[in-house]
Structure 1
Amino acid sequence: MSKLLEVKDLKVSFNTYNGEVQAVRGVSFDLNKGETLAIVGESGSGKSVTSMALMQLLASAGFIKDGQILLEGEDLVKKSNKEMQKIRGKDISMVFQDPMSSLNPTMKIGNQIMEGLIKHQNMSRDQAKKRALELLHQVGIPQPEVRINQYPHQFSGGMRQRVVIAIALACNPKVLIADEPTTALDVTIQAQILELMKDIQKEIDSAIIFITHDLGVVANVADRVAVMYAGKIVEIGTVDDIFYNPKHPYTWGLLGSMPTLDSTDEELYAIPGSPPDMLKPPVGDAFAPRNEFALEIDTQMEPPMFKVSDTHYAATWLLHEDAPKINPPESVMQRMQGFANTGRKDGDK
């Protein structure tokens, strides 16, 4: 598979009154054409900041401190804001978490879809309107001829999210970033939106970066999964690698804290403690204070990325040849068995 996007040692910080917040601390990953990469982790792990950095949409206090973002070999970090305006929407698009804040409440839906088509595709208004109607139909909006002249407040939450997806897909982007696109939706609508994104991806052959804290969503959406903690990727692999052979204790915690169809009424596992203060990132493994399996070296040295297989890597000293052999906790083993019993088949994606 050809590499479409390469992120190399990306570091993103925010200047605050209290000092520099190191939100992303050396993230590296690749994205292949037609692939879906899910980035998962708790709130504050750096997922959304990473996605915003790819689009050069950081808040005024945020800045890319170091690293490269290569889109088909071109480094986006070196692009000016004017140059990025030509890339956003055309080559990279984004579906945000809250559709209401993504849409202009004073503009008709049709005009908001047509805007990108006129700017990036050089379409006339008549051509853009025809394409907007096609997009509304494509994302499952009933009566698009009527809906195209309505405003965002006249749509339900699920329908608004479909409109946002239509806007993001209008110019057939090479990369689509979906930042928690189903968080504000109920379970039924969530499933519909996820199915819609998979179907459209097949049609336009775009690559997707899917940002989420919900591992349950990941299983049926992604090809590969990157687990983030404290501004770093601590484990990355295929969906099967992460769900059936997790290696990092943080991944164990995430898996152990999610329910499955086989779960009982007993209390779900919760990862103890809270993420570190990124004003002063800890020495060594940032997860060590919350890790019941932490070794002495975890508080002294940051672990490198150990190779588990050609597709699977994890940054934990437990993979060192001299480390004690520790299996995932029983709660995680039960979840892994639950996934095996109920879970993802190869045809699900």
Structure 2
Amino acid sequence: MKKKILEVKDLRINFKTYAGEVKAVRGVSFELFEGETLAIVGESGSGKSVTSNALMKLIPQPPGIYAGGEIRFGGRDLVPLTEKEMMKIRGNDIAMIFQDPMTALNPTMRIGYQITEVLLKHKKIGSRAEAKERAIQLLDQVGIPFPEKRFRSYPHELSGGMRQRVVIAIALAADPKLLIADEPTTALDVTIQAQILELMKEIQKKSNTSIIFITHDLGVVANVADRVAVMYAGQIVEYGTVNDIFYNPKHPYTWGLLGSMPDLNNKSNELLRAIPGSPPNLIDPPIGDAFAPRNEYALAIDYEKEPPMFQISDTHYAKTWLLHPDAPEIPLPVAVARRIEGFEQGGE
């Protein structure tokens, strides 16, 4: 049985603003096991990045507030830890790959120095010469050509894809148990995206690192994840294996995400579908199901009472009243059925 690396229980994160208190993360719970990749997906504003930053205690307080819940890493709750205690964990046990490598790297320092500093701080390396040798090995490991030469480069002298490889090298420097990747391919073109994703899979295979992958792109999820958590309005609304989510989706929001994916095999020139409306204002979250105003299949109870998380199988859960025994049976939307058919035929 795989070892549990991380357990998040009922996590709640609020932000104090001039307009009121934003309830950005509202009772999120999930588990992560050794060598596993969990993808957290959803639109902008769904709470994905706040959740990932909260795991490393990177939420500034104020305006952020850890309003409740636990983040158990290696059996220890991180929420009550001080900044000094967290500094020993960040980079060492948990590392992060940020969305934009240009802002993640210090533009005034050579990339070699930025990697060796991590090694000297977190690893028992006795000299800068030894740290330099290991940094060059890391650059080579992440696929940077001529690593000895690139060791002396500044970030602006590298392409976007190369900069992201450097960020991955820095994240891997201390051999972390958990790697959090916050939309690591968003700023890159499609070809480089594929290379970075392949690199992350190779690294995971070699080191058995656990990965949390934050993305809004379901196409990326299919290629990298073992399990998927679909987030909407600060909550996880569906949770399961990749096969559960892609071949047996149950939440109308997941249907919307799948239905809005471009279908490269569609010859009918049908317009790309979109989910109507916008996410709710989380200063004053709606009563009932937060997705109800955008859900064409919403029931009367969706506007009155928040749905529980229904269990579909040992691995699959969804937070929708459509799974209640008394709910009407809704056929899978045509666009979603077509996408599933495309997956089955290997269209993706």
Give me the TM-score of the superposition, normalised by structure 1.
0.97
**1:178-197 alignment to 2 at 5 Å?**
178-197=181-200
Counterpart CA distance in 1 for 2:167 and 2:89 is 18
Counterpart CA distance in 1 for 2:262 and 2:343 is 10
Match of 1:203 among 191, 202, 206: 206
Q: Which runs of 5+ in 2 are unaligned?
A: none
Letter in 2 for 1:87: I
Counterpart CA distance in 2 for 1:161 and 1:219 is 21
Deviation at 1:63, TM superposition (A): 2.0
Other structure's SS at 2:39 match: strand
Name the structure 1 match of 2:147.
144
Counterpart CA distance in 2 for 1:95 and 1:267 is 35
Match of 2:162 among 159, 162, 173: 159
**1:166-245 alignment to 2 at 5 Å?**
166-245=169-248
Query: Can you list the C-alpha shifts for 1:163-191, whole angstroms capped at 9, x where unaligned?
Result: 00000011111100000000010000000
Counterpart CA distance in 2 for 1:101 and 1:64 is 26
Letter in 1 for 2:184: P
Deviation at 1:69, TM superposition (A): 0.3
**1:76-115 alignment to 2 at 5 Å?**
76-115=78-117
Letter in 1 for 2:238: E
RMSD between aligned residues = 0.9
Other structure's SS at 1:93 match: strand
Q: Does 1:11 align with 2:12?
A: yes
Match of 1:126 among 107, 118, 129: 129
Percentage identity across aligned positions?
A: 70
Name the structure 1 match of 2:310.
306
Q: Which runs of 5+ in 1 are unaligned?
A: 345-349
Other structure's SS at 1:77 match: coil
Counterpart CA distance in 1 for 2:176 and 2:162 is 21
Name the structure 2 match of 1:260.
263
Q: Tell me if structure 2 keeps the 8 A contact 1:306–1:314.
A: yes
Deviation at 1:343, TM superposition (A): 5.1
Deviation at 1:266, TM superposition (A): 1.4
Query: Can you list the C-alpha shifts for 1:247-285, whole angstroms capped at 9, x where unaligned?
Result: 000000000000133224211111010000010000000
Counterpart CA distance in 1 for 2:262 and 2:19 is 38
Q: Does 1:269 align with 2:273?
A: yes
Letter in 2 for 1:69: I
Query: Can you list the C-alpha shifts for 1:18-75, whole angstroms capped at 9, x where unaligned?
Result: 1100000000000000000000000000000000000111134112111100001000
Give me the TM-score of the superposition, normalised by structure 2.
0.98
**Equivalenced residues, count:** 344
Letter in 2 for 1:340: E
Match of 2:76 among 74, 77, 84: 74
Counterpart CA distance in 2 for 1:44 and 1:165 is 25
Q: Tell me if structure 2 keeps the 8 A contact 1:261–1:342.
A: no
Name the structure 2 match of 1:64.
66
